[in-house]
């Protein structure tokens, strides 16, 4: 069993700071966002956009992930993105919602107009 001391932890956090992206906007639960994901097809690289609502945010620093949900032809599709990954090209907030929960998993059981969230104006 290996016990990590304070110096090792400091080295790890300094190493991780190099890869943190600071140019992203401050995202919250309930935001409708557009995520640009880099996709490599053969020898070409392009950006594909995924648009949906953030229903969960997990972890912190370099391991921070968001779960984005969208409904496509009546079927709910969820995707988990590692925010600081080099595959994420862009992240834009389309609109914000007023929510009172940390996780919006209840949206999985809602359909149609019942799945709407109240808009927050900044």
Topology, domain 23-110: SH3 type barrels. (2.30.30)
Task: Please write the tens of the pLDDT for every residue from 35-80.
Answer: 999 999 999 999 999 999 999 999 988 899 999 999 999 899 999 9
Q: What is the residue-averaged pLDDT of the chain?
A: 90
Is 58 within 8 Å of 65 (Cβ atoms)?
yes
State phi, psi for 84 to the nearest 5 degrees.
-90, 15
Question: Cα–Cα distance between 112 and 99 in angstroms, integer?
Answer: 18
Is 29 within 8 Å of 100 (Cβ atoms)?
no
Quickly state the pLDDT bin for 2 (edges 50, 70, 90).
low
Domain spans of the chain, in order of start = 23-110
Per-residue pLDDT at 20 exceeds 90: no
Quickly state the pLDDT bin for 17 (edges 50, 70, 90).
confident
Chain center to CA of 3: 32
Whats the size of the chain, residue-wise?
122
Question: Cα–Cα distance between 78 and 45 in angstroms, integer?
Answer: 24
Whole-model pTM?
0.85
């Amino acid at each position: 069993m290996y016990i990590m001391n304070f110096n090792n932890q400091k080295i790890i956090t300094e190493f991780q700071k190099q890869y943190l992206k600071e140019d992203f906007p401050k995202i919250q639960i309930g935001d409708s966002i557009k995520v640009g994901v880099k996709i490599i097809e053969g020898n070409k690289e392009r950006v594909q956009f995924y648009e949906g609502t953030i229903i969960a945010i997990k972890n912190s620093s370099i391991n921070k992930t968001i779960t984005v949900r969208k409904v496509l032809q009546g079927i709910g599709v969820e995707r988990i993105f590692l925010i600081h990954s080099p595959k994420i090209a862009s992240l834009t907030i389309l609109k914000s919602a007023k929510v009172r929960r940390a996780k919006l998993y209840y949206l999985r059981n809602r359909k149609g107009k019942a799945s709407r969230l109240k808009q927050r104006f900044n």
